[in-house]
A and B are shown apart, each in its own frame.
Chain A
Amino acid sequence: MALTDLSDLYGAINEEGINRVVRHLMRLRPSLFNYGTEAVASNLELLCQPIDADPMVFARNNPLITIESPLPVLGTDGVVNLNYCVQLTDFKIDFHPSNSIDLPPELSLLPEQHFALSARACVGLDCPDPKFMQQLENALDQLYAPTFIDDFINPKDAAGHTSSNNPGKPGRKPPPFTIPTRKLKCFCLEVYVIGHMEISKTNGRFLIKPKLDKIEIVDLRPQEMEDMIECYVASVIRLGLLPRIQIALEKIVFDQMKIVTVTLKPAAGVPHNPSIEKDELRAYINMEVA
């Protein structure tokens, strides 16, 4: 049986090929997979996992991580902030049939026409040094007015005036402050995803896109926390990563004289297009020559 029995053109990439593509993508655009605060960006030793980037990334001063705002300490009105980082590493894709990723029991078997993806999500968060924490407490004492016992006995009047026994005035709010970091506390989660591929038409262009079906983070308890973190990671993958990974079937010009323009569109009548089978992602495409 010929590869093109169902269409004019046929394209396929196997899982070893796609994993090499992902590896190149991670090495050339590390900032797509690594996020953290400015302090982390300027001191890469704080990262949970070292970043394996192409030498050209360093040569052209490309960022290794996408800089995000520090994490505010709740209750400090955004004055005190913590450094953190989030890293997605060790991406691996397995096209059906599943033979290179051991899926956790929660995801059971990989369905036909689906792919599995495994990755590590590493999160690092600063935990301030106890001595520094003590200094911060002292500093914050100056910031907030104390609450007197009398305030409980004679609460504020209707106009909201404070008790006459409270001579203190709130201090001026200092500028936001991020606690200096020597080391982040890190942990890594194993993330497993099951997804499939779709062709859709957007703005007149046919796009082959990956879609997420299920996600599982292994060994997290309690269940509600696992569900919440899975929901967040799924949002990152759905909204942050996958929209950037889509292949457009566009017009191409084959000959160097540029007198022939070929318009590509997905072949109709193919049971699954694109298809995931025999460890490959396959696309069946018809063409019109103008």
Chain B
Amino acid sequence: MAHLTVASSEGAVSKLFAGLRDNFSINEADSVDAGPFTAGYEVAFHLEGGSVDLRNDGSILISELDIKWDKLRLYAGIDIPELCIGGFCIIPSPWGCILRAPRICIFEADPDIGIDLNLNGLLTSEISLAARPVLKYFVDPARPAGMSWLDAEDSNLANQWQLFIDPDWLDIDIFDWSDIVGDLLDDAINSAVDDLLWFLPGWAKSLIKAILGPVVDLVRTILDIGDDIEEWLSDLLGVSLGLFDFITTAVADYFAARYPLLEIEDPFPVMGYQNGLIPIKLPIRDLAVAIDDSEMVLTANVGATL
């Protein structure tokens, strides 16, 4: 029997997932100007919806997590050097040019040729994935052999237990048509009710919107059927269907294997330095994680020696 047991209910995992989702956002913009070539992007998104489910096979299923693209603009351009023809003097005279040929310049703009793909606020993408936790023991390669645990602590080279999330499969719908259309329908209904039925009291407008809400949800559901089937098959087979999803799963595997979700220092710090007294740390051995449909359980032993 393990010395230490820590368990987290599925509800707690859902709360944590919701906290991460609601607090996570990205807002990035950059551009390059390499002489005649310019390119840039503006990207901002936040996450909405989705659910997390612990399962008896030891995996975690995250379903239909929406990526709401608040900004998604890509642009690129080429500035071709200005080219002018004409303008020379046809009939010169001692008092100056009497007649000049017309001067025509092309490629005056900057950039002259460009594309600007602006999908701000229009696009919703959706992610579903199944993953399972994997624990690894990390020894910093910079830590010299034979270095004591305390010297390692002082040099920030302490060993670590690392918890990774290893994706079984990953399904990304760049265009989540059900939500894109659903959101457009929502906006259209809200505008129509507000504009055309402006004379109605607020509660009446809310009632009409509430009645039409299930219709929009039905549209969302119908449009999502194909995707749901694909996700169901992916889950059943344990692989990503579709070349794009296969590639993204490979990429996610690559990054997931490098960036741990959680790091637990070993030995684990209980009390830091106090008035020159060395810290109190506990060796953590046999760390293991198990998942069933009700909870995630982490177990460990306290080692006999540091």
Query: Which residues of A does B touch, CB under 8 Å?
Result: 2-4, 7-14, 16-17, 20-21, 24-25, 28-29, 31, 54-57, 59-60, 62-63, 254-257, 259-260, 262, 287-290
B270 CB, min distance to chain A CBs, angstroms: 8
Cα A21 to Cα B301 with chains together (Å): 10
The residues of A that contact B270 with a CB separation of less than 8 Å are: 21
The B contact surface, by secondary structure, is mixed
In contact, B19 and A17 (Cβ under 8 angstroms): no
CB-based nearest A residue for B5:
A12
Cα A25 to Cα B277 with chains together (Å): 12
A24 CB, min distance to chain B CBs, angstroms: 6
Cα A62 to Cα B277 with chains together (Å): 6
In contact, A4 and B9 (Cβ under 8 angstroms): yes
Say yes or no for B261: interface residue by CB 8 A criterion. Answer: yes
In contact, B278 and A8 (Cβ under 8 angstroms): no
The A contact surface, by secondary structure, is mixed
Known contacts A12-B4, A56-B278, A290-B19; 20 further A-B pairs (Cβ under 8 A) = A2-B295, A3-B297, A9-B12, A12-B5, A20-B282, A20-B302, A24-B281, A24-B282, A24-B306, A25-B280, A28-B278, A57-B278, A63-B277, A254-B16, A254-B262, A259-B24, A260-B19, A288-B15, A289-B15, A289-B19
Cα A40 to Cα B150 with chains together (Å): 27
B288 CB, min distance to chain A CBs, angstroms: 15
The residues of B that contact A20 with a CB separation of less than 8 Å are: 3, 282, 302-304
The residues of A that contact B295 with a CB separation of less than 8 Å are: 2-4
In contact, A255 and B282 (Cβ under 8 angstroms): no
CB-based nearest A residue for B13:
A8
The residues of B that contact A56 with a CB separation of less than 8 Å are: 148-150, 278, 306
In contact, B3 and A14 (Cβ under 8 angstroms): yes
In contact, B20 and A2 (Cβ under 8 angstroms): no
Partner of A21 from B2, B12, B302, B306 at Cβ < 8 Å: B302
CB-based nearest B residue for A258:
B23
In contact, A9 and B8 (Cβ under 8 angstroms): yes
Say yes or no for B86: interface residue by CB 8 A criterion. Answer: no
Cα A288 to Cα B18 with chains together (Å): 11
The residues of A that contact B207 with a CB separation of less than 8 Å are: none
Q: List 12 A-B contacts (CB under 8 A).
A: A2-B294, A10-B6, A10-B7, A12-B4, A21-B270, A56-B149, A254-B262, A255-B20, A256-B260, A257-B24, A287-B12, A288-B15
